[in-house]
A and B are shown apart, each in its own frame.
Chain A
């Protein structure tokens, strides 16, 4: 069974960074793309970017190019996203998702709250 495990919630102060993890079990992430999607409170889904864990290649949505950094560790089968220079507008749930046909498997999401 494929599972994407995201842990806990994050509270960050404005101007700081947070690093989110997404551990995959039941599938080798080298064989897929890992995506990150956010959802602001009461809003819809927004694509942040994707990483090819086999070679580290990344593609970002334009608005997240200076905000998000995607990495992956194939030895631990884990994808990461660092969010930098946090602002209140970054308060959202952040999901990781694994692409096979569509975005077939999703983590449960991590709530990131930016507050001083």
Chain B
């Protein structure tokens, strides 16, 4: 199985940039796609897709969210961070089954 590694928490000041990383145990990229996706989950809610295929903004997601990366290293950036962005962020790969998720990064405000 592909293991995705995320840092447990990140503290950022409002209005600043947050950079959340995800490292895969093997490449999740094909010749055409980078099969890494990002989700936001607030307490008591279901996850919400933010970014698909590493860098594509999902429908209705604010442009302050962006994603980058390829191969084994991926990044979710939130700039500028707003109070509503307090949540846990998960990466997920679909390069191969079983689908796997990172353990989540909890975004906190300094």
| B97, A95: Cβ atoms closer than 8 Å | no
| A47, B101: Cβ atoms closer than 8 Å | yes
Q: Give the residues from 46 to 72 in chain A that come closer than 8 angstroms, CB to CB, to chain B.
A: 46-47, 50, 59, 61-62
> A108 to B44, alpha carbons, bound, how many Å?
9
| B90, A62: Cβ atoms closer than 8 Å | no
Number of interface residues of B (CB under 8 A): 24
| A44, B99: Cβ atoms closer than 8 Å | no
> A47 to B49, alpha carbons, bound, how many Å?
15
Supposing A35-B99, A44-B103, A62-B98 touch, asked if A104 and B58 sit within 8 A by C-beta, the answer is yes
| A44, B104: Cβ atoms closer than 8 Å | yes
Q: Give the residues from 79 to 116 in chain A that come closer than 8 angstroms, CB to CB, to chain B.
A: 95, 97, 99, 101-109
| A103, B98: Cβ atoms closer than 8 Å | no
| B48, A101: Cβ atoms closer than 8 Å | no
| B46, A47: Cβ atoms closer than 8 Å | no
How many Å from the CB of A36 to the closest CB on chain B?
11
| Residues of A near any B CB (own CB < 8 A) | 35, 37, 44-47, 50, 59, 61-62, 95, 97, 99, 101-109
